[in-house]
Structure 1
């Protein structure tokens, strides 16, 4: 199997270029691609876009998601519009060059409440990956079913790669401990950009401008250096078969991946709230 692995790596880089070339040549030579004359979808839910439409989707979703970073549908559209033609192929090739990544591509598992038993995860020991994941879901009030379906990536295999990345996002939160607040999301997106190079994750860091001054200062002094350092040096998280790691010690997996846990942002924010409350009470007493 490893012999086959060594042979597939140079071919994958060529494959991505050929795939993109074939797609463009077939649509341009046999059927002119326009808004009024679209090729058939490559997979269920696929919406082929012209270059102008893709650019408009990128700009529009980028501006609106910056104004409202909790619009996950807009962030998803931005990710798909900016991932082609290069970045999603790079991520796909990273999976093809890794034994576990190739197995994920072959089996194409999905992460949802239908494939993961949330109740069974709650019964796992507290230090396991699965328990950390479900505790994080419960604490943040989210579920595995909140990830949008990929629609705007033309290559069917690459569409699955983007879907896999999207559905694994909550595991990245669980392993790092970063909460779903604007400050935590920006820090995690910085880590993901350093690790995956998906443009949307880098563009999402522009939301740092919307943070409070104290949060912005903390991001640049603490969480941005952590994100770059760990995102670059750690294994590519797209190649983790999370479904097979659920019963593993979360600290052990974090160490194997080369990820150091960042300072507990939830605890820091709690201390700040308590300090503000204490100062307010002192001011009221002084009056």
Structure 2
């Protein structure tokens, strides 16, 4: 059966349901660390069930302690995506004509495949310019996404890679910044839209937020995330490379995504308010000292 699945000609003649069942069966087959099967694609690292459980627990704890550890978040996503959730996301792509084209074309998002200079030259209301402006404002690059290693099925590994590379587009589309508060809000949206367990587990980082930030999350951004994530179309099916010159508001309307309240503006006003209150207290203290 393993030889059958690795033969592209034979794979193409199998019904997809049978192919998926066989792939899950083979990927969940027991093996030992001393008798590890060969990789299914470049960079693939086959893991036993026990190893995947350890990876999930360790990466979950580590990413909660330091939510800026992208490598741990990536490992958590892969360790918890199988056996069901990544197949559900893959099937969502297969049910969409655009999703099927993405799976066929296998595009990748990086500074090599997408000219940032070109995106910066686009009109301000376009998807591409919105994306480039967001990257520049946040000081990040599309080249920081690590490669998938721990998902056994090659096609599902690409689905996870595609989700990972599109993450910054979700940021740009919603306007949410990469500060911890913004990441938690976006993960809540992604969980409602994709059902990937990692996005739901990442929301536990809300416990590390300041009281005012937690209050904003539960009163503003969590209700927005749930409502928009559920009602909007599957964001994994957006062929971003074909949408760059499109009006960003038009795309939001088509997807059914309402842009949330500007978190950076809220945080800016909150800092200004605290600074004014501090200065007022200092003036009051100085006045009392003089008297």
TM-score normalised according to structure 2 size: 0.91
**Which blocks of at least 5 consecutive residues in structure 2 are unaligned?**
1-14, 287-291
Say which of 3, 9, 17 aligns to 2:21. Answer: 17
Q: Counterpart in 2 of 1:157? A: 155
Shift of 1:54: 0.2
Task: Please give the alpha-carbon distance, in whole angstroms, between the structure 2 residues aligned to 1:205 and 1:143.
Answer: 24
**Which blocks of at least 5 consecutive residues in structure 1 are unaligned?**
1-10
Q: Counterpart in 1 of 2:124? A: 126
Task: Please give the alpha-carbon distance, in whole angstroms, between the structure 2 residues aligned to 1:15 and 1:191.
Answer: 31
1:34-53 equivalences in 2 (<5 Å): 34-53=32-51
Structure 1 residue matching 2:152: 3-state secondary structure: coil
Q: 1:97 to 1:12 in 2, by over 3 A?
A: farther
Task: Please give the alpha-carbon distance, in whole angstroms, between the structure 2 residues aligned to 1:109 and 1:125.
Answer: 24
Structure 2 residue matching 1:41: 3-state secondary structure: coil
Task: Please give the alpha-carbon distance, in whole angstroms, between the structure 1 residues aligned to 2:243 and 2:282.
Answer: 52
Shift of 1:17: 2.6
Q: 1:265 to 1:12 in 2, by over 3 A?
A: farther
Shift of 1:13: 5.0
1:1-287 equivalences in 2 (<5 Å): 12-13=16-17, 15-24=19-28, 27=29, 33-286=31-284, 287=286
Shift of 1:21: 1.9
Task: Please give the alpha-carbon distance, in whole angstroms, between the structure 1 residues aligned to 2:206 and 2:41.
Answer: 36
> Runs of 4 or more off by more than 3 Å in structure 1?
11-15
Shift of 1:279: 1.0
Q: Counterpart in 1 of 2:3? A: none
Shift of 1:280: 1.3
Shift of 1:12: 4.6
Task: Please give the alpha-carbon distance, in whole angstroms, between the structure 2 residues aligned to 1:13 and 1:258.
Answer: 31
Task: Please give the alpha-carbon distance, in whole angstroms, between the structure 2 residues aligned to 1:96 and 1:135.
Answer: 32
CA RMSD in angstroms comes to 1.1
Shift of 1:285: 1.6
Task: Please give the alpha-carbon distance, in whole angstroms, between the structure 2 residues aligned to 1:276 and 1:63.
Answer: 33
Shift of 1:208: 0.4
Task: Please give the alpha-carbon distance, in whole angstroms, between the structure 1 residues aligned to 2:18 and 2:261.
Answer: 42
